[in-house]
Each structure stands twice: as structure tokens, then as C-alpha cells.
Amino acid sequence: MKRRSFLRTLAGCVPAAVLPQALARQAQEMPLAVQVQPLGAHQDRTGTPHSLGFSTILFRVTTAQSEGRVFLMEHQQMLSNKGPNLHLHTDLEEWFYVLEGEIAFQVGDRRLVLKSGESVLGPRMVPHSFASVGELPGRLLIGFTPAGRMEQYFVDGPKKWSSRPEGYYGTRDIGPSPFWK
């Protein structure tokens, strides 16, 4: 069953009053160590920030913490008009929330510039890219769901990407970023 069909079915079967109780019960069943794991500002969950050359990446919620349901990272783009290649994900969605700065996005054939507090979804199988375009570095919260192998993608970095079989990370490069100058 596809996820959307499942969610529609679930929404129709679970009365609104029962859902909060069910979620609270599920949270109570989790060990406290899983429930409460605070992380300070400018900290990486693994203890080591990551970099792609044009950005600093902090792992905020790891794949293991969410049992593969989500991977969240904070992305600070240091160089203007640099960013990832135009790419798509074959089996996950990528959500972007702008924390600071101005970020240009291309999602499918649509281009937009978002500012602090705004967000956009990069759906699976839809090409997308982004780049900081403001005078200050851009900072994003980026979420992947389900997490797939995206955490491993950033751990491995460019030196290991080419040694993996095509499609290993569930990401496919389409071409250069439309924002590169």
C-alpha cells in the first residue's frame, strides 16, 4: 500500500480524539534515553561537523534516533551561488526550512527565493537544487523522510560517492546546479 493511501486510510479510521492519546502512549513506551536527547546550538549529534566544501553540516536528528523515519540536518551555506547539483531522490522527500538568509530554490521547473521562516518540499522524483543568494550565509534545516541512506551519503562525502553503485543512496544527479556562476 502506498504511503499516501495508508495515511488517508489511517486518518479515516482513527478518530481525532484517539490519535493524541495513541501518540502519547507510544512516547511513554519509548525508553527515556530515546525520548529526551537535547542538543545545543552549533552542535552535531555525532560530535563532528561535516562539510561539502561550500557548506557546514550538523546532524541534528540521526537515522538511528528515529529508527529510519527521518534524518534532520542543519546546513550553513558559506559561499553564495554554490550548492548541490540539480538532483532528485528516488525514495524519499527532502524538506527545506530557511533559518537565516535568502535561499534560491529550483524544484521541478519552479524557481523561488525563500527567507527566514519559509519552507518548501522537494518531493521524491522531482529534480531540485538550492543556493544561498543573500548577502549573509544562508542557514537551513533540511529533513529527509524516510531517512534512507542520506545520513550515510553525508558521512561518506564526495570521495566515496563514486565508489558506490549508482542509486546506492537513493539520489540521482541530473546536472549542474542552475545557480552556479
Domain boundaries, the chain: 1-32, 41-175
Evaluate whether 143 touches 172 at the Cβ level (below 8 Å): no
Evaluate whether 40 touches 60 at the Cβ level (below 8 Å): no
Evaluate whether 114 touches 103 at the Cβ level (below 8 Å): yes
Q: What is the dotted CATH code of the domain comprising 41-175? A: 2.60.120.10
Residue 93: what are its φ and ψ, rounded to 5°?
-100, 150
Q: What is the DSSP string of 113-179?
A: EEETT-EEEE-TTS-EEEEE-SSS-EEEEEEEES-TTHHHHHHH-HHHHTTSPTTTTSEEEEES-TT
pLDDT at residue 78 greater than cutoff 90: no
Handedness of CA 53, 91, 143, 145 (dihedral sign): negative
- pLDDT attached to residue 7: 44
Task: Return d(Cα 112, Cα 142) in angstroms, integer.
Answer: 17
- pLDDT attached to residue 158: 87
- pLDDT attached to residue 169: 96
- pLDDT attached to residue 134: 86
Before 158, cis peptide (omega within 30)? no
Instruction: Give the chain's mean pLDDT.
Output: 85
pLDDT at residue 15 greater than cutoff 50: no
Joined grid coordinates for residue 78: 558559506
pTM above threshold 0.85: no
**Helix H or strand E segment including 106:** strand 102-107
